[in-house]
Structure 1
């Protein structure tokens, strides 16, 4: 058979490439975004308890009501904004499934979707699979700011969606209140849907505040928010997240969701419903990861890398132009194979693979892992 590919130009993603390279060469893996420490034993025990209590069959399509109630309460407590757990919150197989379902639900052939680059790599393939056209807006290095005039000029009669990611992976920045107000103003009185990927909402540093889309009333009316328990609670392999949005939009979302996954792991939902009712289980996460960031940056302060401290997420980008001028993909591979530390080159997320001599490191690691990595990075000249 000779199938006709829907993604003929899509190559193996950079996370797989660098992950495999790290494994092959026994390198310290600071490439992929996962912790190398365990999630809270209390949460693990709650999952076991749920399984032993018989929660092993299909969960409701929307998700366990107790968990949706707990999510609604979390939004009320954090943002003084409400979502109806009956028809505005759905539990998903991680944020990625929510994102894919949103795009599949609303993007038709030739619809245009605005993305901010560098962009996490799951957005663009989903748009293309559904016949949509990606309209990239490159963020301005080194601060990765948005030029909102470019956004205004990019909007046409075919613009169906704008995808934002704040806090932003891969570069660790956050949209300001003014950024969100600009987005609200630009999309007001249009039919543009906003997809707001907020999986790192609890990892914002240095006294900054996460500006969730739900804080802006006119923006909230057209926005889906996606989130990830896996990122928040150090268990990315559980693949569980959620999606919030206006009931009119969520009604359409559910039409695709029911035939995509139908429902999500039942005992994990039961456990999370109890676990997130204690705000301390997520409200201190920013301090935890800020300390990780500081540990990493303090350890490499005498290296040849230059950087602006990450404002959020558990990623730090470093500029290596003081070491070499080779392209970032080759540098990341060389760093992995010859020196034993794996990272992610940023050019693969940029418009036209723009190479600004920047690589990304994940600092969601044990302190000894970060110190060992720093010892290697400090020797590069």
Structure 2
């Protein structure tokens, strides 16, 4: 298929849904409850709700929303550290826009900016490097977040800073790794998953190979998916077909952008600039071993955690907020006491309501709408 409308074809969707229904009925004959498939990526969650896919699935299939939103999994203590950097004299803190409104323990970055801290939204780490170039008398720190999707652009920016000899640029590194998070989820006895729809954007960088551990060690099938409606439905069908045939493999539905070994240039940049932390704290999941990047010792001059004194304190989430359970897939957003009432995108209590990839934001934006018929759900997008 060449054109985007082909990935939104209602007739093709109906065919896939028919196959999915048949596989679901076959599998649930010997399965207690519905088949639970987790879509890891927040981008998938939003596509699922935007196109009404969840409402079209049979009751034998349940989609579980995973921790694939990098803004949502950031713990409050790390946000407090970023604010502490911004509040130091002669510092410009830069970050992406959706991070600005995530609540820390006392305030968000946006509130700290309103109180006088020089915090600026950027679209790329290269924008932060440009600010450092233009303000040689000030320190410019980039609050770097994201999975392996965004980490290469950060690494390449550090390499550019080194080539130019820019010494007033640093990185507050909060990049995280997807596979260790999946392993942590599979160790949770409260969450019984049957398979995964793998994240397409991350996989463009790391490839399909790293997911082999999920299939081989944990016995869970994985299908890496694109973000259009037919991408998601086909990957769901691939996972269900594996379960029905007694197979457990890593399959790649997103072949137009993902290959088995990943992007060699991006992976080389990551290996040069970063090394893996012993552990990293995730909101809702706690400390996960080997789940985050930190600066490689060869690039310690660009490490904000070495340049600045930070609180490094662990901070509990708001008691009324179920963001942690939602990120684990244990709860749905509507099971949170404050969802859609005290917690909205305009006045968020938890990070899942802030980010455009957050599950709560997806439910809030699309969940209240009446579920359209299959042909209508896809025809609207054409």
TM category (shorter chain) comes to: 0.3 to 0.5
Q: TM-score, normalised to structure 2's length?
A: 0.33
Q: TM-score, normalised to structure 1's length?
A: 0.33
